[in-house]
Amino acid sequence: MKSIVVLISGNGSNLQAILDACASGFIDGEVCAVISNKANVLGLDRAKEAGSIAHCLPHQDYPTRHSYDQALQQLIDSHKPDLVVLAGFMRILTPEFVQHYSGKLLNIHPSLLPKYQGLHTHQRAMEAGDSIHGCSVHFVTEELDGGPVVLQARVPIFPEDELTAVTERVHEQEYSIYPLVIRWFCQGRLHQEGNLAFLDNEPLPEHG
């Protein structure tokens, strides 16, 4: 069974989907620890409830991005994970950190990458008049939201949609695709080589 560390910054609804998928056996893995850069977030309660170790490592306690990422790396490595999962972890990571976990660092991003890298993705898709939007799971590389995409899910945007409707629609898909990708990883079927992701040794199309 693979051991997984999940990094969060808040609500942790993707974390919950991952915890549930581990509990049901869909993922042959265990979330050994959850680390949040923010205190008192719901995600930490979800972790404790599921029996995972919950750490809070506030970024304000560190003078530089580099020193924070070093402390984060030390804490993660104390759990010896096979996989590190970013689930709503809202910080930019240093190149050294990303390189250290190369091939075993996954992220979920709420857009159809390479569209809408960065923040406020739903709002930007709606403002652009897009009728199709979605989410992407990708390996993390030094390029922000730029690593190889493993899997994407598409959702419609209807003209009458409010932001909350679009957000919820994307979230529902996130809860499916993230556990599925993590399942593949834990089965040893998924790997990364540079800017390509491979499933069962077949290169995946560049954008999911």
Site residues (CB under 6 A) for ligand GAR, limited to 95-114? 108-110
CB 77 within 8 A of CB 165: no
Rounded alpha-carbon distances, angstroms, from residue 14 to 33, 158, 174: 15, 24, 7
175 closest CA partner among 135, 139, 116:
135
Beta bridge partners of 20: none
13 contacts ligand GAR (rule: CB under 6 A):
yes
Single residue of 14, 52, 152, 192 touching ligand GAR by CB under 6 A: 14
From the list 81, 88, 179, 208, which residue makes contact with ligand GAR (rule: CB under 6 A)?
88
Please confirm, yes or no, whether 59 is among the known catalytic residues.
Answer: no
- Residue count of the chain, please give it: 208
11 lines the binding site for ligand GAR (CB under 6 A): yes
151 binds ligand GAR (CB under 6 A): no
Give whichever of 43 and 208 is closer to ligand GAR, judged by the CB atom: 43
When the beta carbons of 49 and 200 are compared against ligand GAR, the nearer one is 49
Q: How far apart are CA 90 and CA 87, in angstroms?
A: 9
The reply to whether omega before 63 is within 30° of 0 (cis) is no
3 is a site residue for ligand GAR (CB under 6 A): no
52 binds ligand GAR (CB under 6 A): no
Residue 132 · residue 154 · CB < 8 Å? yes
Measuring CA to CA, which residue among 39, 40, 35 is closest to residue 54? 35
Q: How far is the CB of 188 from ligand GAR (least distance, A)?
A: 25
- Point out which residues bind ligand GAR (CB under 6 A): 8, 10-14, 43, 87-88, 108-110, 135, 171, 174
Binding positions are 12-14, 65, 90-93, 107
